[in-house]
Structure 1
């Protein structure tokens, strides 16, 4: 292993921060909902909205391994990649593997639906509601709230599958996916592109998120 390869940056700091904040927020949001701490649930929901929106924007204008286009291209290789995994043939990827790309899109879709429905949800008594529930009827808000609960179960299932997959990679395929998500670096891949946080792209992403948050908070 060369010194250069040992220092290969795979994940920029924004992706790593996003990942671990999501890991923290999901159980916190579940707990605040279960305990009826709806003020905190709304605050955490808006934080989740900001993170998801940032990730979606960053998937277009961010660093190479954060972008969606390379991941979409890798989806075509999912069947062949899965056959390789079954045969315990696993080559490290610079960025998301084909099945990792599929997992990213599934989790982002579930998280986006969870946040989106939360913005419009209304509780049974109509006392607690999302910041955009004022734009729809009570009946529609209740229907969305039911779907919000259903989608959370789907999200939990996807998270469980993700954890199981990470464990399989670690203990069966001998590929540690957690450490690179902490350090950002891998020593067993050849770089395809430079992973770099461009200041203007970061500023643009933050501005879009801040403007969207402002619009939602002041919608009522």
Structure 2
């Protein structure tokens, strides 16, 4: 695997340097298509029950196909699409959500703990809703009370969760000063400029300490290889100014990571 500088130059070589000099590829193209397609079909399914039954069923079957794709992509996709570290983020979710309510968050390039919890709950509710919907129109389970109730309750919970997701996305965009909805369209997120955004006094302190060492090239700072955990939260002004060495990837790069330009 290349070092951080090489990975950063590989990302930067895909597009002109000026408009994307402070961004890095995070969400791959298949995941972005899945996200917006799922949003569209779920919306159609929510507004068509008991009025346009055929369209409602088509949307439900499309959601089933998208769920199957996401489960597969969670095993073979690029690093921020994987389910590999989901359990760690779920354990951190309660504390992270409390921090969100106080306006305190750690910054993650991929899903933060609250987003990971949202993903797991949403996938579970969609599975219950779609399976119960298919059973509801079958000959064997047609008219069965608990099937109809499961479908209605899970569908209503999905609508409520969508509202929470939208509000949470807007709230995080305000707290972190980044358009997260646009990031899911472009696939790129802002690079936390640890060295570039540090105050001049802190940079002077660090420069005096590291004067005897060769100065790292500007391209050597690459956030795309920093693991998702722990969050990118500087503990102090001086600590934020310290240049961090390239962190090792938590797993070997997949072909999808290479297409994103993360490394070779």
Q: TM-score, normalised by structure 2?
A: 0.63
Does structure 1 residue 154 correspond to structure 2 residue 157?
yes
Per the TM alignment, residue 29 of structure 1 is displaced from its structure 2 partner at its CA by 1.1
Q: Which has the larger radius of gyration?
A: 2
* Partner residue in 2 for 1:29: 45
Question: What is the root-mean-square deviation of aligned Cα atoms in Å?
Answer: 2.5
Summarize the Cα distance change of 1:42–1:21 in structure 2 as closer, same or farther, 3 Å threshold: same
Which residue is 2:224 aligned to? 191
Which of the pair is proportionally richer in helix? 1
- Give, in whole Å, the separation in 2 of the partners of 1:196 and 1:184: 17
The C-alpha deviation readout for 1:191-218, integer Å capped at 9, x for no partner, is 13567538xxxxxxxxxxxxxxxxxxxx
Partner of 1:17: 33
User: d(CA) in 1 for partners of 2:142 and 2:85?
Assistant: 42
Alignment check: 8 A CA contact 1:49 1:115 kept: yes
2:120 corresponds in structure 1 to 105
Cα distance in 1 for partners of 2:90, 2:173 equals 22
Deviation for aligned residue 1:144: 0.9
Secondary structure of 1:154's partner?
helix
Distance 2:113 2:101 in 1: 14
Does the residue aligned with 1:186 lie in a helix, a strand or coil? Answer: strand
SS in 1 for 2:91: helix
TM-score by length of 1: 0.74
Rounded Cα–Cα distance in structure 1 between residues aligned with 2:116 and 2:67: 16
2:255 and 2:27 map into 1 onto residues whose CA distance is 9
Written as runs of structure 1 = structure 2, the 5 A alignment for 1:38-117 is 38-117=53-132
Asked if 1 retains the 8 angstrom alpha-carbon contact of 2:128 and 2:150, the reply is: no
The number of residue pairs the alignment matches comes to 185
Corresponding residue for residue 208 of structure 1: none
Describe the SS at the equivalent of 1:33: coil
